[in-house]
Copies of this chain bind each other. A is one copy, B any other.
Amino acid sequence: MNSDFAESAPITTKNKVGRRVSKQSICLVCGEVARIINYGALCCQACKTFFRRNVSHGKQVCQYDGNCEITKFTRLGCTACRLKKCFACGMNPEFIRVTDQNTNHALVKRRNKKTNDDDNNGEKLKINLFPPKLQTLDLLENDRSALSHFEWTLLSNVIHAYDRFEASSKISTSTNYLVHLPVETLFHNTHTYNLFKTYYTTAQLFVASSADYKILTSAEQCSLLKRNLNGLFIFCAEVVCRDLKMLEHPVWFNTLTYSLGSGMVARKRYLNKKLEHDNTLIKLMLIVLAFSSNCCMLDERDGVFQDHLLIGTFRLFGSQNVFVEILWKYMLYRYGYRETVRRFSGLVKQTLDLISLVVNMYRSDRMHQYFLDEAIKLATSSVKIGENDSIPLWGKSSLDSIESTPMTFGYYCT
């Protein structure tokens, strides 16, 4: 309650007295302080209990659009979406060993038959019909694909950093939609530009909040943004577009068509349909892209001569590798090997397609260059963004670099 984000230092530290302080991080489901893995995912006490009590319920349905935001403060709003998110975060009912006597269902049943209890003791503790499969435990504890506690922490930090900064984009999108009513202003690039600017900001703040970014010099940061920000932008745009069903709203559809042309919107719609459905994977992909050596450097003005700043920088490869590994392990854990391979290749394909799309957008409208310049300006301004932010750094910090091959989504401008 009182601690909030302040204590979510990713790994075990020592406090002033030298006493060992238990490692703390944030609940994958709601963002509350979390310390251990419950039922297969890093989550808080409340979400743990919630999951145990509600998992046996008959299908609950969301009263809204099935996309309710779940945070520490909103988690009471929609049981269905909270439970869904629990599953999405990797919580697994197979870890539940007994049918909880206080399960909401159990409670109801117990009260209904309170007149004639002959089997008074019979209902004490029923062993779950599906005892925890050792296989699952193996995956967590022994399998090479298991995510370490540190990696879970980092994963949860990535997700929540993204969610936090994405919020403004979603709000901006919905609000702009509502404001759109006067018809005469309908076909006007301003709306599109306002949105795009927000997406650029979201992407930038997301990257900038990671420790791996902050330890770079200012020049390195700029170089990184120039290389990769466009790629991040298009992913943010697509996620928001999909989550808010933008292309299904005629108003947005028409506005975008006016701004981008019908060809590009058709392409956008096509790619959007194929977009990976697990947002967690996309968020991880984003951070991987952010530390790519060159996701899409599109500006010929100051291209290659700064390459020495980045190419060959171990820090960069190190950061990226950690995140790629987390992405991979998480997918293995969630989907198993076969499905992981399928999804991963899909993800790579989508990334390349989207980058190709953003290249076209960039070329056809000089505003994108303006947005990028603005981002650079923001990054180099004396007041460092996020300096006083309540979100702490969440990067990999001092983890030893890992020996797998670094990935690069290169896309040089020809």
Binding site for B on A (CB under 8 A): 114-115, 117, 120-121
- Chain B residues with CB under 8 Å of A121's CB are 115
In the bound assembly, the distance between CA atoms of A115 and B120 in angstroms comes to 8
In the bound assembly, the distance between CA atoms of A115 and B121 in angstroms comes to 8
Number of chain copies forming the complex = 2
CB distance from A72 to the nearest CB of B (A): 13
CB distance from A167 to the nearest CB of B (A): 17
Chain A interface mostly: loop
In the bound assembly, the distance between CA atoms of A227 and B20 in angstroms comes to 59
Closest residue to A76 on the B side, CB-wise? B1
In the bound assembly, the distance between CA atoms of A120 and B120 in angstroms comes to 11
- Chain B residues with CB under 8 Å of A117's CB are 117, 120
CB distance from A76 to the nearest CB of B (A): 9
* 4 examples of A-B residue contacts, CB within 8 angstroms: A114-B120, A115-B121, A117-B117, A117-B120
CB distance from A100 to the nearest CB of B (A): 15
In the bound assembly, the distance between CA atoms of A151 and B120 in angstroms comes to 52
In the bound assembly, the distance between CA atoms of A346 and B20 in angstroms comes to 57
- Chain B residues with CB under 8 Å of A115's CB are 121
- Chain B residues with CB under 8 Å of A114's CB are 120
- Chain B residues with CB under 8 Å of A120's CB are 114, 117
Q: Which of A117, A120, A121 has the most CB of B within 10 A?
A: A120
In the bound assembly, the distance between CA atoms of A401 and B120 in angstroms comes to 66
4 A-B pairs closest in CB distance: A117-B120, A117-B117, A114-B120, A115-B121
In the bound assembly, the distance between CA atoms of A117 and B115 in angstroms comes to 12
In the bound assembly, the distance between CA atoms of A120 and B115 in angstroms comes to 8
In the bound assembly, the distance between CA atoms of A114 and B110 in angstroms comes to 14
In the bound assembly, the distance between CA atoms of A286 and B363 in angstroms comes to 72
In the bound assembly, the distance between CA atoms of A209 and B302 in angstroms comes to 61
CB distance from A45 to the nearest CB of B (A): 15
In the bound assembly, the distance between CA atoms of A117 and B121 in angstroms comes to 11
Closest residue to A117 on the B side, CB-wise? B120
In the bound assembly, the distance between CA atoms of A114 and B121 in angstroms comes to 9
In the bound assembly, the distance between CA atoms of A104 and B115 in angstroms comes to 23
Closest residue to A73 on the B side, CB-wise? B1
In the bound assembly, the distance between CA atoms of A115 and B117 in angstroms comes to 12
In the bound assembly, the distance between CA atoms of A117 and B117 in angstroms comes to 9
In the bound assembly, the distance between CA atoms of A120 and B117 in angstroms comes to 9
Closest residue to A116 on the B side, CB-wise? B120
In the bound assembly, the distance between CA atoms of A232 and B120 in angstroms comes to 64
In the bound assembly, the distance between CA atoms of A42 and B220 in angstroms comes to 62
